[in-house]
Structure 1
Amino acid sequence: MPITDFVRDRSDSLYDPDSGAPSRRIANGMHMQVPGNLTVFRAPEPDMDVVFRVEMLKVGLRPTGVSVLSRVGREVTATHLRAVNVQRLWRAVIIGHIKYVREDHEMSQKDPEGRRFMIESPVRLTDEQLERMRLRGPEYETLEYVSDMYTLASCLGLAPAQFVQDAFAGESLEPLPRTTATKWIKKARDVGLSLGSADHGND
């Protein structure tokens, strides 16, 4: 199932960075303060929460701890723990808390001072925006988005090419065909855009 099909609403979760946590580059144009704690509310049951410890490791952004907490004093059992699909859940939720900023991008918005910024969850562009990029083909701004999604996927430990395909899916749009995604990834690399490089590790 495409990751875009199970990204949760940000109101269902809270990301609380540690005091003084530095802003780390997750991918091109994407930043996040880490380390911190990611709380997913009402999981695995309505009166429970799942808390992930999130850190930047050499392999990318990863959970380094997970706990299930009851808000009503219930016992947390092995059954509850087994119900938490750690990788699937934290990836689906953390994406909504990554700040995505692209200055002077056609799809960006203006701030009060007139500067243009693109601030979106990276997998939640509108169908209109995605369709515009698909119709224009591998122009530079489209390739920037391909590069961003490829690098984000690498940082989260997802299959980058598949993620690029899914990133172009929307409410009424199918994922980008595999052959098209492969060509656009190659084109992005050919024009010098970074693919797969993020601010990993502690150095």
Structure 2
Amino acid sequence: MKRLRVFFIVPIMLAAACGGKAEPGVYDLPLSEAYARLAKADIMGFRKARQCGILIHFETTRKRDESITWRVISNGRTMVNFTVSLTDTGDGRTRATLTMPADPQGGEPYDGTKNYPRPALNQPLRPAVQELIDAAMEGRPYDVMRLPEPRNTDRVCSVQRGGLESGSFRFGIDDKPGMDSRQSARAFADEEQSADRAVFDASYGQPENHTWSGE
């Protein structure tokens, strides 16, 4: 009987020693502390690890002790957004719930099945954001190596990220199909010059109107 009691107590002691999450998405932190940590999430580390080839930055909307929404912006447009909502579980712990908007193609944006010509972040996005939350709650930097495999499923993202890192290519959301930003800029400039010439030459060589009005 004593041996059974020891075996029963040991797992409880180990669980207590581990601290952190009691279950996925629940953290051994009071609500106010969980919010404070989430507000300091390593978003720059997240961007460095998950960014593709286009330049992006993050904008946040905060509701104190309730939620934080991050919007991924490129060239003034929102590429994707995600929200982490916090709720007090009633026992001194906090639940963090990650939500994303529905994708018109079905599922969630960047869920590992989508194809984007100019992706903002590598896929799948949800586990990458979950690591952002876990890192914030544990008070540590973002660690991409903690993501489950496969970590990077977007080949287009990887190729464009390589071009950005090497400086060989630039990419933007308004690029022409099959072109990077430099090539697109030249193509747009050529089109504009052609349009200007067409306007300038539209009336060249046309006969003047000498019709007598009779007055």
- TM-score range for the pair, normalised by the shorter chain length: under 0.3
Identify the structure with the greater strand proportion: 1
- In the superposition, the TM-score normalised over structure 1's length comes to 0.27
The structure whose RCO (Cα within 8 Å, separation 6+) is larger is 1
- In the superposition, the TM-score normalised over structure 2's length comes to 0.26
